[in-house]
Structure 1
């Protein structure tokens, strides 16, 4: 059964806070420590304890590097140490730091982020997520803080530049004084979470509360993770109302149909297609069908009258259940092809390379479309885009940053 996690970052987010929340929800410390040891070679120890933050009980993950002066590492060095989702988190961090500091991504020095304790935060969180059997993640708006913070680069404004880079496309709020969101916490959230949304409908199973290091007055410095299952397979992709527009047409020049269909889709139709039919007196004709949201029925009807020779358009209400969709670019040789995926209840259901991308790449390279299509399917599979894969792994592999 798929399991969904929703992250409440309304008081901020950091790597150790997420780790504490996942341990509080039931992730096993032994599993987390084993994963960290596999990367850090026993140079880091993780412990857990109960604390109070703003009057609330919370779980604190303490990450201790046994090396008093862990070295600053470049992304070139770190990427040889981590794999899977943890690799995706650090790659996202490296790209954000490279953009804000104007350096090559491979040579980004993480300083605090590259220290052993921060590597343990990322690897430990990813191991805890997997240990809890979480297949999909979403999160609410993130409190990023205000003021300034002292770093290896000197005093920087809050939110820190890397946090703002990582937060692009996400809802944020100040939420209080000081640094409330760290680059590590933001990178974990953005790598895991596919969408920023309020708490979705869940049958709630587990709740974890992770504590930050400070206990400021007037605010509980915690991250909450709410974990549960969809109440039914339909709950995550409810049927939505739609309208079907139809017209039988026997006197339109067939060379016009491609433009008619393209115009309807450009105007917002969900789908538009033709079905060959025989009308009275044996005349060959087509049924034009257009599926659309009810709010677009009127403008699409006007377009049908404008672009075809029909004298009437039929309407009938429909219910439509659609998979949630996303588009993931994958590398195919020296080119790139977008793969359209459909998912439901946190699990990948459909995977299909966009044929227009396939055709364009084939033309540019002078190669057969069928060969490029097969290479795109193979590249998608190697990226982890396979039917049945959890969406957590898909978001981790997304090239969109």
Structure 2
């Protein structure tokens, strides 16, 4: 199984993830659908981070760029500054970049920025109620480094484009002619971001504007990461504990501790853990958190793997003793099951007729449910009842919940939140059985792990029952013969 492991001990952001994936072997040419759909272009180049050669990916305004954004000689390489630090603080924009063109010296001091246009936060600052015209607190002194360039020359795409709602972002992503898996991952990541923002502000997901999260550069970060990941062709993504940094940050609603509110909400539902430090800066941004929350499972140490490639994605901070990079390692991680993102719906019923319960399997699966379980239980006052549990993909949850409500009349449905299940790869093969000179076909479900190693075969009962009724052979015998026939064709594996 092809494994991708991130080392987030210096946090994560959208552009750090872009850089890490390119450095680990992903082809940046796959990013062209984003450039075709938006007025942006990606600039890929290398920078030095405390002696480590790291890959930096900048999202630039295509029309404003005076030259080839992927080449050398782009004189103004000042990074994006993001209030929430999304791709800023620890990542792609949080502070002044240390690219080869700009070698600013950052110290552990706080300062206030008053450059409204320059400081547009990127990966979700406004998702926490940040506004472009506010002060930013970063762990370096603006007085300690002098800017000898004009901010009018900036071509970074911070905040460019409309501030979209979640449905508008989904429509945009679906219009980009992307592989289906990339569309599914990107829209799921934006849902994570949108739900975190809505929870912070107490608003509805579909009506809440993403602000900077929904602007062109943020869309380029999220969709770009999904495209690069698809190009790498990995089966499993893991991350160690992710550093959030420390200290405080200034937002439009006041001073908040690091991590920012939306980051706290996102990580609460993530499979991986977070840790404070190791510096007083905002290291984990909402975009970085959302991407990892959707894609990665948590591990405490690097899993056993045969390393094929590795690389570092550069962030924007300069610290004396901590290279501001995100490491990605790709290799063979052994045979494992497939991680499937799900959520679970459930409701208690005490007055549903048996006919309704009997039909729920079919009606809910038609609406998008992956599995339906009905468990007899005892309700209050000792009344008999049933617990209905439904496994769905997060994006199908609302539709399936509505179908469950109208089918059963239930007044409330609980959702357990986004999680995951481990599943086998499932394929169907057809077994042809010769019984008394006649051929009969039975479907057989074949289960295998991520490397294609088969560990179970089971005949479809309905097919076997039909053959049993026509031939008089017991259904159990039909099922056994079907499984044996498929196994024999596969060489007995």
Query: Normalised by the shorter chain, which TM-score bucket?
Result: 0.5 to 0.7
Aligned to 1:128: 228
The question of whether the paired residues in 2 share the 8 Å contact of 1:362 and 1:372 is answered with no
The question of whether the paired residues in 2 share the 8 Å contact of 1:361 and 1:372 is answered with no
Where 1:198 maps in the other structure, the secondary structure is coil
Residue 14 in structure 1 maps to residue 13 in structure 2: yes
Once the 2 structures are TM-superposed, how far is the Cα of residue 55 of structure 1 from its aligned partner? 1.7
Aligned to 2:445: none
Residue 171 in structure 1 maps to residue 273 in structure 2: yes
Residue 329 in structure 1 maps to residue 343 in structure 2: yes
Which of the numbers 58, 77, 98 marks the counterpart of 1:62? 58
Residue 46 in structure 1 maps to residue 42 in structure 2: yes
Q: How many pairs were matched up?
A: 272
Once the 2 structures are TM-superposed, how far is the Cα of residue 85 of structure 1 from its aligned partner? 0.2
Tell me how far apart the structure 2 counterparts of residues 84 and 30 of structure 1 sit (CA, whole Å): 21
Tell me how far apart the structure 1 counterparts of residues 226 and 12 of structure 2 sit (CA, whole Å): 15
Tell me how far apart the structure 2 counterparts of residues 73 and 365 of structure 1 sit (CA, whole Å): 45
Residue 192 in structure 1 maps to residue 180 in structure 2: no
Q: Return the TM-score normalized by structure 2.
A: 0.50
Aligned to 1:149: 249
Residues 1:59 and 1:211: Cα distance change in structure 2 (over 3 Å): same
The question of whether the paired residues in 2 share the 8 Å contact of 1:362 and 1:368 is answered with no
The question of whether the paired residues in 1 share the 8 Å contact of 2:186 and 2:223 is answered with yes
Where 1:84 maps in the other structure, the secondary structure is helix
Residues 1:194 and 1:361: Cα distance change in structure 2 (over 3 Å): farther
Tell me how far apart the structure 2 counterparts of residues 365 and 327 of structure 1 sit (CA, whole Å): 32
**Within 5 Å, which residues of 2 pair with 1:275-354?**
328-329=342-343, 336=345
Tell me how far apart the structure 2 counterparts of residues 151 and 134 of structure 1 sit (CA, whole Å): 37
Once the 2 structures are TM-superposed, how far is the Cα of residue 158 of structure 1 from its aligned partner? 1.4
Aligned to 1:92: 192
Aligned to 2:201: 101
Residues 1:361 and 1:205: Cα distance change in structure 2 (over 3 Å): farther
Residue 162 in structure 1 maps to residue 270 in structure 2: no
Once the 2 structures are TM-superposed, how far is the Cα of residue 155 of structure 1 from its aligned partner? 4.3
Once the 2 structures are TM-superposed, how far is the Cα of residue 226 of structure 1 from its aligned partner? 1.1
Residues 1:64 and 1:366: Cα distance change in structure 2 (over 3 Å): farther
Residue 211 in structure 1 maps to residue 314 in structure 2: yes
Residue 76 in structure 1 maps to residue 167 in structure 2: yes
Residues 1:98 and 1:184: Cα distance change in structure 2 (over 3 Å): same
Which of the numbers 348, 353, 360 marks the counterpart of 1:372? 360
Residues 1:363 and 1:124: Cα distance change in structure 2 (over 3 Å): farther
**Structure holding more strand per residue:** 1
Residues 1:37 and 1:217: Cα distance change in structure 2 (over 3 Å): same
Q: Return the TM-score normalized by structure 1.
A: 0.61
The question of whether the paired residues in 2 share the 8 Å contact of 1:362 and 1:369 is answered with no
The question of whether the paired residues in 2 share the 8 Å contact of 1:35 and 1:124 is answered with no
**Within 5 Å, which residues of 2 pair with 1:22-33?**
22-32=21-31
Once the 2 structures are TM-superposed, how far is the Cα of residue 70 of structure 1 from its aligned partner? 2.6
Once the 2 structures are TM-superposed, how far is the Cα of residue 206 of structure 1 from its aligned partner? 1.5
Once the 2 structures are TM-superposed, how far is the Cα of residue 10 of structure 1 from its aligned partner? 0.6
Residues 1:59 and 1:71: Cα distance change in structure 2 (over 3 Å): same
Residue 112 in structure 1 maps to residue 218 in structure 2: no
Tell me how far apart the structure 2 counterparts of residues 16 and 226 of structure 1 sit (CA, whole Å): 17
Residues 1:161 and 1:363: Cα distance change in structure 2 (over 3 Å): same
CA RMSD of aligned residues (A): 3.0
